[in-house]
């Protein structure tokens, strides 16, 4: 006679625990596949009704890769740092299309942005890429990959990582964000990022005492207040020069229209920390133009890669400092981040859209090696006009803060 197998209490407990854990994993998987808060799973089960409530801020680079994976088609990509993330709007009606995506991330400089470009091309064949380059980035060894969530995102290796994919599917961090997404949807709360990647600027960006913010940036000697590549004859970092060549060459090979955009910063940041004169004209753009011309030379039958320069003492880059209580700069959120109005004007100048303000008509220029001497002459002339006008007051204010900081 056979007897039923009796499991020991410890065995029954272990089976029950494993069953419970398996149930939790399956439930987590089901929730994450439907909610997919970072859009990274790109599952057929993903709910389109939740798209307006997905928030990617906590894992920003993963979220931007999710946009790449989940988009049906990306026709135009906007790549860069927080300057692009907050001011280049993929939803502008001027585009007259709905396949424009903002793939920029805060603190994402050249190495990371090239990785975004490569990840984009693994999944899509875009028509055009607007690629922002931050002042001084290509001539310094500054590397942001270790500072944020780059290493935990698909950008780190560009391939398939089982552990990472399992985390996206059943991980606690993904489940937590899924539940937050469901809660936002139940309350009809908008996330900070739009479904196509723009970071919405909340009221705090415009209500902060800007004078105190700028003074704090100067006192802390933040990099955006003191660009490192102000000296004449600046050379591109060899590794970054190689990657820039890769960008241009790959774009030609794939039939992509690459537009390089040299970002502006407030002109006060382009003056040496010592405040000394004469004014030094940056040479980084010349090195970029030489490299681009060399890379373009391999493809003589194709259009050259345009380089748009929005740097220098242009009127919008010389907003007076808000030294009075309650004052704000019209075109700048701080020394390095321009307003969405400026961002729209940059895109309009490049794309040939109508310019909405008279001052924006001549903002920035498509730069070539042939036009560079005239650009330098205008730079020196306009810089001196700035210092002879409101710039003199603003420079004195800046120097007083730097001297005070040096005494502490």
Positions in the chain whose pLDDT score sits under 50: 222-233
Domain boundaries, the chain: 63-166+190-406
Report which secondary-structure segment, H or E, holds 398.
helix 390-406
pLDDT, position 90: 98
pTM for the structure as a whole: 0.91
Which tokens sit at 117?
A: 């470009």
pLDDT at 402: 77
CA distances in angstroms from 214 to 5, 24, 60, 225, listed in the order given? 75, 49, 26, 9
Q: Note the pLDDT of residue 28.
A: 86
Structure token pair of residue 131: 């690629």
What's residue 282's pLDDT? 85
Q: For residue 176, what pLDDT is reported?
A: 93
83 closest CA partner among 14, 133, 33, 13: 133
pLDDT at 3: 58
pLDDT of residue 271: 82
pLDDT at position 287 is 96
Instruction: Please report the pLDDT score of residue 222 as a whole number.
Output: 45
Would the CA dihedral through 172, 173, 177, 178 be positive or negative?
negative
Q: What is the pLDDT of residue 2?
A: 56
Collapsing DSSP to helix, strand or coil, 353 comes out as coil
3-state SS string for 294-305: HHHCCCCCCCCC
């Amino acid at each position: 006679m056979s007897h039923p197998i009796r499991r020991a209490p410890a065995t029954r407990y272990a089976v029950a625990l494993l069953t419970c854990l398996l149930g939790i994993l399956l439930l987590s998987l089901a929730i994450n596949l439907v909610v997919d808060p970072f859009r990274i799973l790109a599952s057929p089960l993903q709910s389109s009704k939740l798209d307006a409530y997905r928030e990617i801020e906590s894992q920003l680079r993963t979220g931007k890769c999710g946009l790449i994976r989940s988009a049906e088609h990306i026709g135009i990509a906007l790549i860069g740092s927080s300057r692009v993330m907050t001011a280049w709007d993929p939803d502008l009606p001027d585009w007259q299309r709905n396949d424009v995506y903002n793939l920029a991330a805060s603190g994402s400089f050249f190495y990371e942005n090239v990785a975004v470009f490569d990840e984009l091309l693994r999944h899509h064949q875009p028509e055009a890429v607007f690629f922002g380059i931050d002042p001084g980035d290509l001539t310094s060894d500054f590397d942001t990959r270790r500072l944020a969530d780059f290493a935990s995102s698909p950008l780190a290796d560009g391939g398939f990582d089982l552990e990472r994919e399992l985390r996206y599917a059943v991980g606690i961090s993904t489940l937590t964000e899924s539940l937050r997404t469901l809660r936002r949807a139940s309350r009809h709360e908008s996330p900070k990022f739009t479904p196509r990647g723009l970071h919405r600027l909340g009221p705090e960006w415009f209500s902060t005492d800007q004078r105190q913010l700028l003074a704090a940036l100067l006192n802390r000697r933040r990099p955006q207040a003191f660009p490192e590549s102000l000296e004449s004859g600046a050379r591109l970092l060899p590794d970054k020069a190689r990657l820039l060549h890769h960008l241009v060459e790959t774009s030609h090979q794939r039939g992509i229209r690459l537009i390089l955009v040299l970002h502006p910063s407030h002109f006060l940041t382009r003056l040496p920390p010592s405040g000394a004169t004469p004014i030094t004209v940056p040479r980084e753009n010349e090195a970029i133009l030489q490299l681009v011309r060399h890379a373009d030379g391999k493809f003589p039958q194709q259009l050259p890669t345009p380089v748009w320069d929005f740097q220098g003492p242009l009127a919008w880059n010389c907003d007076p400092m808000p030294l009075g209580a309650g004052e704000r700069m019209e075109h700048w959120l701080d020394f390095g981040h321009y307003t969405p109005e400026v961002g729209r004007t940059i895109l309009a100048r490049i794309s040939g859209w109508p310019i909405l303000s008279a001052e924006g008509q001549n903002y920035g220029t498509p730069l070539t090696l042939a036009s560079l001497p005239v650009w330098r002459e205008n730079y020196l002339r306009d810089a001196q006009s700035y210092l002879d006008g409101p710039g003199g007051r603003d420079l004195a204010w800046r120097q007083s803060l730097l001297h005070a900081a040096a005494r502490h």
